[in-house]
Structure formats: structure tokens, C-alpha cells
Amino acid sequence: MSTMNSFELERNLKSWLEEDMPFGDITSDNIFKKTHSGEGDLIAKEEGVLCGIDIHRKIYELIDKDVKLTSDLIDGDLIKVGKKIGTISGPMASILKGERLGLNIMQRLSGIATMAHSYSKEIEAFKNRNS
């Protein structure tokens, strides 16, 4: 994330989390004890180009440093349907607080990256035909 303005990113993430949970996540906070931990995998539903995993990780850093998003993948990696993108583990209430925003951002950015990649492939094919 070195090319991204980290201050602006953090300001926006905090604003979006506040918009999503103006009073916190009352449901998760009342269902799960702080000691209730869990784990879940992020699985690709479509083929494409991964983008936004570091931002998803940053969301959890802002919510609860005990939540960990681990992955061997990086932005720009090509993914297939069913591919495990990563694993989120930590306190359940905290996982749920960041899940919606993290997934929305990753889906949107991955969609844009996938479309840009397909355009790049089309241009490359065109260049090869006219050389």
C-alpha cells in the first residue's frame, strides 16, 4: 500500500465503518462474548484478478488488532472460482464488524482490476495483429 495515501485511506475506512455501524454492532456485541473466537475462509465466487486484500486487512487493524487476515495471495494475483483467498480469525464480534465493508471493497476493486486485465489482454492481442 506504499503508493496509496495511507492517511486518506484510514480516514475513509473509519468514516465508512461509522456509517455502517453508527452505534457499533449491537447484534454481534450481544450475541458473542469477547472471548468467543472464530475463523472463516474467503473463497472466490468468480474468476478474476484479486485486489483490495491489504485494505481488507487494514479494516481489521482499525477494528481489533486481534483479528488476523492471512493469505498467500497479493493484489494482482489471478484467482479461479473456489480458490481460497485467505482466512480471517479472531474474536467473532470483531470479525463480523469488518466483514461487510472488507468484502464490499475487495469485490469492487477486484471487479475493476479484472475488467482492466481483460482490456489489457484485448489491447495486447490487437498490438500483435498489427505489428
The pLDDT assigned to 123 comes to 85
- The amino acid occupying position 39 is E
Q: What is the pTM of this model?
A: 0.84
Burial annotation 110-125 (CB, 10 A radius, 16+ → b, else e): beebbeeeeeeeeeee
Element (DSSP H or E) covering residue 40: strand 37-43
Q: Mean pLDDT by 10-residue block, N- to C-terminus, for the chain (131 residues)?
A: 76 91 82 91 97 96 96 97 97 93 96 94 73 55
For residue 124 the three cell numbers come to 495486447
- The confidence score (pLDDT) of residue 57 equals 96
Would you kindly state where each structural domain of the chain is located, as residue ranges? Answer: 6-129
Fold held by 6-129: Aldehyde Oxidoreductase; domain 3 (3.90.1170)
What residues are paired with 49 via a beta bridge?
A: 78
